[in-house]
Amino acid sequence: MNKAPLGVFDSGIGGLTVARALFERLPHESVIYFGDTARVPYGPKSPDTVRRYSGEILAYLLNRGVKAVVVACNTSTAHALGYLKERSTVPVVGVIEPGARAAVAATKTGTIGVIGTAGTVASGAYERAIKALRPDARVHSQPCPLFVPLVEEGWFEHPAAELIAREYLAPLQRAKVDVLVLGCTHYPLLKPLLARVMGPGVKLVDSAEETATAVARELERLDLLANGGSHDHRFVVSDDEPHFRKVGARFLGEKLKQVEVVPLG
Ligand code: DGL
């Protein structure tokens, strides 16, 4: 029994999709969520910059006494997971390995599509994770940088979003992927649109849900579960608290009560 909170962080708002999945999967756990809204987006930034920002957030969360850290951001996981694990005194879980595991379990043909930010796709992290589990898999990756601002605008079903999705996903359709990994915090909100564009033969893998399952397993294995009692969720951002509160409610599926502002760096 361990009542210390879980630390969850993202470049901004998107990681609330992971927080939401954690709340559902682990209702007794308390979460401190940090969104780096002052420095979002991480997608187009260099690996060194993303590692530095992620390291600062890790130090902040460790200071707040978290018992484990969930890297909800795909770009941070892609560039910084190893770096964070080396520096952390508590377990660190990223979103890529769980997503890769689910993709490998779901594919029938071994042809897997991955969509993510420019940084995530350029890092090749999903491809490596998938191939470590299934060496003969064929992985087709596609950066979709315009999806992040579309989701932030709330344009989940807008004709512009559909046009852009058709353009981005055409190469993956031509490659005949039978699984599409949503390798970015924002993409679960586009699920109905992406499912429609890809068609019924393609299974969508949501890293948020898979990560929540992986975190539950890891907490159980390390005997760190809260096991009952009430939770206390905290939300912290590095800037622009009103926007986080407004758009964040859509990601989380409920209102955000208290949001603290803590500038880092
Ligand atoms: N959180 C980022 C990710 O999952 C998307 C937004 C950004 O580029 O910072 O990759």
- For 122-159, how does the pLDDT look when each residue is reduced to its tens digit (9 = 90+)? 999 999 999 999 999 999 999 999 999 999 888 999 99
For residues 205 and 102, the answer to whether their CB atoms sit within 8 Å is: yes
Q: Phi/psi of residue 228, each to 5°?
A: 100, 170
Do 18 and 48 lie in a common domain?
yes
Strand, helix or coil at 110?
coil
Do 105 and 196 lie in a common domain?
yes
Pocket of ligand 1 (CB under 6 A): 10-12, 14, 40-43, 73-75, 117, 120, 148, 184-186
In a domain, 1, yes or no: no
In a domain, 249, yes or no: yes
Query: Residue 96 has what pLDDT?
Result: 97
Range name among 22-26, 45-49, 246-250 with the lowest pLDDT average: 246-250
Segment 87-106 shows an average pLDDT of 97
* Residue 104: pLDDT over 90: yes
Q: Phi/psi of residue 166, each to 5°?
A: -60, -40
Query: Residue 207 has what pLDDT?
Result: 86
Do 203 and 220 lie in a common domain?
no
Q: Is 184 assigned a catalytic role?
A: yes
pTM: 0.96
CATH code of 108's domain: 3.40.50.1860
Place of tokens 């969930």: 70
Do 220 and 174 lie in a common domain?
no
Other C-beta atoms lying within 10 Å of the C-beta of residue 167: 12
234-237 vs 31-35, strand pairing mode? parallel
CA gap 118, 122 in Å, rounded: 6
Q: For residue 114, what are the domain limits?
A: 96-207
Beta strands in the chain (DSSP E): 6-10, 31-35, 68-71, 92-93, 111-116, 138-143, 179-183, 203-206, 234-237, 259-261
- For 212-240, how does the pLDDT look when each residue is reduced to its tens digit (9 = 90+)? 999 999 999 999 999 877 889 999 999 99
**CA diameter of the chain:** 50
Q: Residue 251: in which H helix or E strand, if any?
A: helix 241-252
- For 238-259, how does the pLDDT look when each residue is reduced to its tens digit (9 = 90+)? 999 999 998 899 888 888 888 9
Structural domains of the chain, count: 2
40, 73, 181, 247: the active-site residue: 73
